[in-house]
Amino acid sequence: MRIVLIYSGGLDSTVLLYKLRAEVHEVLTLSVDYGQRHRHEVDQASLICKMLGVEHQVADLSALRPLLGGSSQTDDFAVPHGHYAEESMKLTIVPNRNMLMLAVAGAWAISRKADSIAYAAHAGDHAIYPDCREEFVAALDTALGLADWYAVKIIRPFVKLSKADIVLMGVALRVPFGMTYSCYEGVPGVHCGECGICVERREAFEVAGVDDPTKYAKENADVQA
Amino acid sequence: MRIVLIYSGGLDSTVLLYKLRAEVHEVLTLSVDYGQRHRHEVDQASLICKMLGVEHQVADLSALRPLLGGSSQTDDFAVPHGHYAEESMKLTIVPNRNMLMLAVAGAWAISRKADSIAYAAHAGDHAIYPDCREEFVAALDTALGLADWYAVKIIRPFVKLSKADIVLMGVALRVPFGMTYSCYEGVPGVHCGECGICVERREAFEVAGVDDPTKYAKENADVQA
């Protein structure tokens, strides 16, 4: 199959990239830059794709910033620190983020006659994100199947896996975890160790019992299991 | 209601803008520029909104051009002339165009707490566009209702009207037809008179029995009823 992978350069989508290639699919990777502060993540995505000889495109949606309203991923107020909690998480919501990403990936998939769009949604994706709900994805999959005479499917191979499961799969697939980047702070070469996504990342390695090669700015931050 | 109107600056969406305002809705207008050649259409949209004191935003998706593949609206080959015919029409398809537009409008509607997104789809929209199908719009409406905790609806007030009906409504609403622009050629101040959309525009005025104030480059082109 030819698959368009929505590829952030983070841990989950890098493991998915390696898995799809191991299954001998042809993978086209797409990073969506919606004006977030972590450009560094996209740079890492580009680097990993170059290393693997995989096509990588960046969809620059930063021009949409005036339309996207308040969110710590696109605006200039502080990144919420600590474990995911409802109030601080709400700040990291980009409105209609998944539909935007899937619409762009769908356009590329149709123009390149890909069979499907894949992304690395997993079981730990928080219910605070309304567009992570099954019903949302099912409706959008139906729409995408009708958007052209040529139907593209949405696949989410990790939807029943925990992030620790994904780390274990990554070990088996020899994923270079140290090259992946997913911190909300976006400082090149170092993860803050404190934002929601860093806390999840540390926990996933701990739970999986796998050495975490990530450089964290705050090594001794409390990790609440 | 507060409504985000997808607004091209063409005839149909300008009549819809006037209609929604006449119904005393608060209207926010959005032009989506996906790298098409008719920037002039967006300029006219901006001008009309300024005249009416209506908020107008342009979502610049031209950075997506490398992902959108072959289409006469985004690429450099010739615009197909004459009456809509299946083969020439296919050249004007931007892949996943409606999902892209509705995803962007949805993001803005969510961030501005609008009740709905409106666009001027009408009964004459051609079956050659797969994303004009009812099933597509229904699925996307469901997805949009689930994309946030706050649900936005898709409305298409003209979906049962012909373009001639829209012209008649425009007359009643005193729409300045001469300010609207919708030619694929994108030459400021003049419509080619020959591309598919110009042929439809001329026919709509003829069928409605309304004087057409549009300046056509080719005044005497064959209009096939």
Does residue B95 sit at the A interface (CB-CB below 8 Å)? yes
Q: Has this prediction a pTM greater than 0.95?
A: no
The CA distance from B151 to the nearest CA of chain A, in Å, is 10
User: With a cut of 50, which residues of chain A have pLDDT below it?
Assistant: 71-77, 84-91, 221, 223-225
Reduced to 3 states, what is the DSSP secondary structure of residue A134? helix
* B108 vs A57, A67, A102: nearest CB: A67
Does residue A127 sit at the B interface (CB-CB below 8 Å)? no
Tell if the CB–CB gap between B111 and A68 is shorter than 8 Å. Answer: yes
Q: Supply the pLDDT for residue B98.
A: 93
- Tell which of A65, A74, A96, A133 to mutate to test the B interface (max B CBs under 10 Å): A96
Q: Supply the pLDDT for residue B155.
A: 97
Reduced to 3 states, what is the DSSP secondary structure of residue B121? coil
Does residue A139 sit at the B interface (CB-CB below 8 Å)? yes
Does residue B129 sit at the A interface (CB-CB below 8 Å)? no
Buried b or exposed e, range B63-73, using 16+ CB within 10 angstroms: bbeebbbebbb
Chain A contacts in chain B segment 107-126 (CB below 8 A): 107-108, 110-112
Q: What does the DSSP 8-state code read for residue B177?
A: G
Beta-carbon pairs below 8 A across chains A and B: 142
Tell if the CB–CB gap between A96 and B112 is shorter than 8 Å. Answer: no
Phi, psi of A207 (to 5 degrees): -60, -40
Chain A positions in Cβ-Cβ contact with residue B135 (cut-off 8 Å): 142, 146
pLDDT in tens, B170-210: 999 999 999 999 888 888 889 999 988 899 999 999 999 99
Determine if residue B78 is left, alpha or beta; phi over 0 gives left, psi from -120 to 50 gives alpha, anything else beta: beta
Phi, psi of B137 (to 5 degrees): -65, -40
ipTM, two decimals: 0.86
* pLDDT tens for the 225 residues of chain B, in order: 999 999 999 999 999 999 999 999 999 999 998 765 568 889 999 999 999 999 999 999 988 988 987 544 444 445 555 554 444 444 456 899 999 999 999 999 999 999 999 999 999 886 668 888 899 999 999 999 999 988 999 999 999 999 999 999 999 999 999 999 988 888 888 999 998 889 999 999 999 999 999 999 977 545 444
Tell if the CB–CB gap between B107 and A130 is shorter than 8 Å. Answer: no
The CATH H-level superfamily of A2-208 is HUPs (3.40.50.620)
The CA distance from A177 to the nearest CA of chain B, in Å, is 29
CA dihedral A55, A56, A57, A58 (to 10 degrees): 180
Tell if the CB–CB gap between B147 and A131 is shorter than 8 Å. Answer: yes
The CA distance from A153 to the nearest CA of chain B, in Å, is 13
Tell if the CB–CB gap between A107 and B130 is shorter than 8 Å. Answer: no
pLDDT in tens, A94-116: 899 999 999 999 999 999 999 99
Reduced to 3 states, what is the DSSP secondary structure of residue A30? strand
The CA distance from A133 to the nearest CA of chain B, in Å, is 8
- Closest residue on chain A to B110 (Cα): A95
* A143 vs B94, B111, B143: nearest CB: B143
- Tell which of B148, B149, B150, B152 to mutate to test the A interface (max A CBs under 10 Å): B148
Chain A positions in Cβ-Cβ contact with residue B107 (cut-off 8 Å): 64, 67-68, 94-97, 99-100
Does residue B99 sit at the A interface (CB-CB below 8 Å)? yes
Tell if the CB–CB gap between B68 and A130 is shorter than 8 Å. Answer: no
Tell if the CB–CB gap between A144 and B69 is shorter than 8 Å. Answer: no
Helix axes A39-52, A11-22, angle to 10 degrees: 20
The angle subtended at Cα B202 by Cα B200 and Cα B205, nearest 5°, is 105
- Tell which of A29, A55, A67 to mutate to test the B interface (max B CBs under 10 Å): A67
Q: Supply the pLDDT for residue A38.
A: 64
Cβ–Cβ < 8 Å for A157, A43: no
